[in-house]
Amino acid sequence: IVILLLFIGFFLFFYKVGDRDLWAPDEDEYAQMSREMIRTNNWAFPTVNGQPWAIKPALYNWLTGLISLPYGDVNEFRARVFSALSALGTFLIVFFLGQRMFSTLAGFLAASAMGTSILFLQYARWAQTNMLSTFFAALAIFSFYRGYTDPQKRTSSYVMMYVAVALGILTMGPVNLIMPGLVVFFYLVVVK
């Protein structure tokens, strides 16, 4: 089933992901920021067209810049690859969470429903931080649930949850602390 999901995920999220031009708004700015990081070797203070850009944290741009560094420039595929990888990771996390909570069929159906929704597909193929943020939030929630339900994996799961939250904050800011935190809080309230 995981191999089938990987095949489906590749088709949904990676197939021809670099074939269209970068679209405004956002895609062009994210690509330009990564391009300027490479050209100016300024990775600490992001700029777009030479002007400071501090709207969101820069993890997505650092990743794009790092994979583009050997080529000296950012192209459409490299600008979007981390969104596609994040979508594939989220797709698998939803499967494993559904499988752990209910059944293999439930996990497969949940991943399929999410992976084929229009908005998820759009963000999976779009160069911006949303899908990477979604991946880290999903990983934090999955890690919490695994640690909560499996005492033998509790420590490693909770460490993974904290790492996912930290990387999520570097991707989108405090929303990646608040959203998983609310899910965990309401889950704990429901199970008393």
Tens of pLDDT along the chain (192 residues) come to: 999 999 999 999 999 998 888 887 788 999 999 999 999 999 988 999 889 988 889 999 999 999 999 999 999 999 999 999 999 999 999 999 999 999 999 999 999 999 999 999 999 999 999 999 999 999 999 999 999 999 999 999 999 999 999 999 999 999 999 999 999 999 999 999
pTM: 0.94
Give which of 178, 93, 103 is closest to 139, Cα–Cα: 93
Q: What does residue 51 show for φ and ψ, rounded to 5 degrees?
A: -100, 140
